[in-house]
């Protein structure tokens, strides 16, 4: 486990993200994606209240980057991939929203979107989840992103610079470690945030393994 480093620069780069044609629907503005491609809206609401993204980044050893939520934030001490809410007013696309959150939370620059993830092999992408009070309903899109490798270290990791206001540590975790909930160097329980995080991670490992 690595403690927090200085925060990522406040202004991100101009995101130019390559992607496979199968991901074209995520190159739409978040509002357009919600209107035309999101899962069915639950019957108890009339619209989704927003879109969240999660970025899965793997190092050269096939481990995924996970951040620990700060103690003063909601869900303190739980682990998650970099991500957060799309800005419906300024994010030009779902891809850009995911890349922006990755930059803001980990200081990594996305260069290519590899694939979209689901929580299981036969479940369409786009997880519907509620906030803690069940007053607002969102869609989460999980994308595997490749990042620029400037500063890649001998152990296969790229430098991570967290926003200490949101996260206080990071790890690169293997499939077995995510599955077992035991990551070397992490003191105490290794618990992930809700909303299908563990399932999406394991599905991502499976897809990468099958592709290889």
Q: What is the 3-state secondary structure (H, E, C) of 107-130?
A: CCCEEEEEEEECCCCCCCCCEEEE
Please determine, for residue 100, whether its predicted confidence score (pLDDT) is greater than 70: yes
73 contacts 166 by C-beta, under 8 angstroms: yes
Please determine, for residue 6, whether its predicted confidence score (pLDDT) is greater than 80: no
Reduced 3-state DSSP string for the chain: CEECCCCCCCCCCCCCCEECHHHHHHHCCHHHHHHHCCCCCCCCCCCCCEEEEEEECECCCCCEEEEEECCCCCCCCCEECCEEECCCCCCCCHHHHHHHHHHHHHCCCEEEEEEEECCCCCCCCCEEEECCCCCCEEEEEEEEEEECCCCCCCCCCCCCCCCCCCEEEEEEECHHHHHHCCCCCCCCCCCECCCCHHHHHHHHHHHHHHHC
Q: What's the confidence (pLDDT) of residue 194?
A: 78
For residue 150, name the pLDDT band (cuts at 50, 70, 90).
low
Reported as a single tens digit per residue, the pLDDT across 14-44 is: 778 999 899 999 999 999 999 999 999 999 9
Interval 146-171 mean pLDDT = 80
Interval 44-70 mean pLDDT = 95
- Tell me the percentage of the chain whose pLDDT exceeds 90: 67
Q: What does the alpha-carbon distance between residue 143 and residue 117 come to, in Å, rounded to a whole number?
A: 6
Please determine, for residue 109, whether its predicted confidence score (pLDDT) is greater than 90: yes
Side-chain half-sphere exposure of 140, counting CA atoms within 13 A = 24
Q: What's the confidence (pLDDT) of residue 172?
A: 95
Q: Which residues make Cβ contacts (< 8 Å) with residue 118, sequence separation at least 6?
A: 124, 125, 126, 127, 142, 200, 203
For residue 76, name the pLDDT band (cuts at 50, 70, 90).
confident
Please determine, for residue 155, whether its predicted confidence score (pLDDT) is greater than 70: no
94 contacts 30 by C-beta, under 8 angstroms: yes
Q: What's the confidence (pLDDT) of residue 211?
A: 83
Q: Which residues make Cβ contacts (< 8 Å) with residue 103, sequence separation at least 6?
A: 8, 12, 13, 15, 109, 110
Q: Which residues make Cβ contacts (< 8 Å) with residue 50, sequence separation at least 6?
A: 30, 85, 86, 88, 136, 138, 139
Interval 160-171 mean pLDDT = 91
Return the CATH class of domain 2-211: alpha beta
85 contacts 170 by C-beta, under 8 angstroms: no
Q: What is the mean pLDDT of the chain?
A: 89
User: Which of 92-96, 155-159, 169-173 is least confident?
Assistant: 155-159
What are the residue boundaries of the structural domains of the chain, listed by start? 2-211
Q: What's the confidence (pLDDT) of residue 152?
A: 59
Please determine, for residue 7, whether its predicted confidence score (pLDDT) is greater than 80: no
- pTM for the whole structure: 0.90
Interval 126-133 mean pLDDT = 88
Please determine, for residue 171, whether its predicted confidence score (pLDDT) is greater than 60: yes
For residue 187, name the pLDDT band (cuts at 50, 70, 90).
confident
Please determine, for residue 90, whether its predicted confidence score (pLDDT) is greater than 90: yes
Quote the tokens at residue 134: 């069940």
């Amino acid at each position: 486990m690595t403690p927090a480093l200085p925060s990522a620069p406040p202004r991100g780069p101009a995101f130019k993200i390559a992607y496979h044609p199968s991901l074209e629907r995520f190159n739409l503005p978040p509002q357009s994606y919600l209107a035309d491609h999101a899962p069915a809206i639950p019957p108890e609401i009339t619209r989704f209240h927003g879109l969240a993204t999660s970025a899965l980044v793997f190092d050269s050893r096939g481990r995924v980057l996970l951040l620990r939520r700060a103690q003063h934030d909601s869900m303190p001490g739980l682990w998650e991939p970099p991500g957060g809410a799309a800005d419906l007013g300024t994010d030009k696309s779902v891809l850009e929203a995911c890349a922006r959150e990755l930059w803001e939370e980990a200081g990594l620059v996305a260069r290519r979107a590899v694939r979209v993830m689901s929580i299981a092999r036969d479940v369409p992408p786009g997880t519907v989840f509620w906030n803690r009070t069940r007053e607002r309903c969102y869609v989460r899109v999980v994308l595997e992103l490749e990042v620029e490798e400037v500063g890649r270290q001998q152990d296969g990791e790229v430098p991570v610079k967290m926003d200490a206001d949101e996260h206080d540590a990071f790890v690169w975790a293997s499939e077995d470690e995510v599955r077992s909930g035991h990551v070397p160097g992490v003191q105490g329980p290794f618990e992930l945030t809700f909303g299908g995080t563990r399932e999406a991670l394991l599905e991502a490992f499976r897809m990468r393994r099958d592709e290889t």
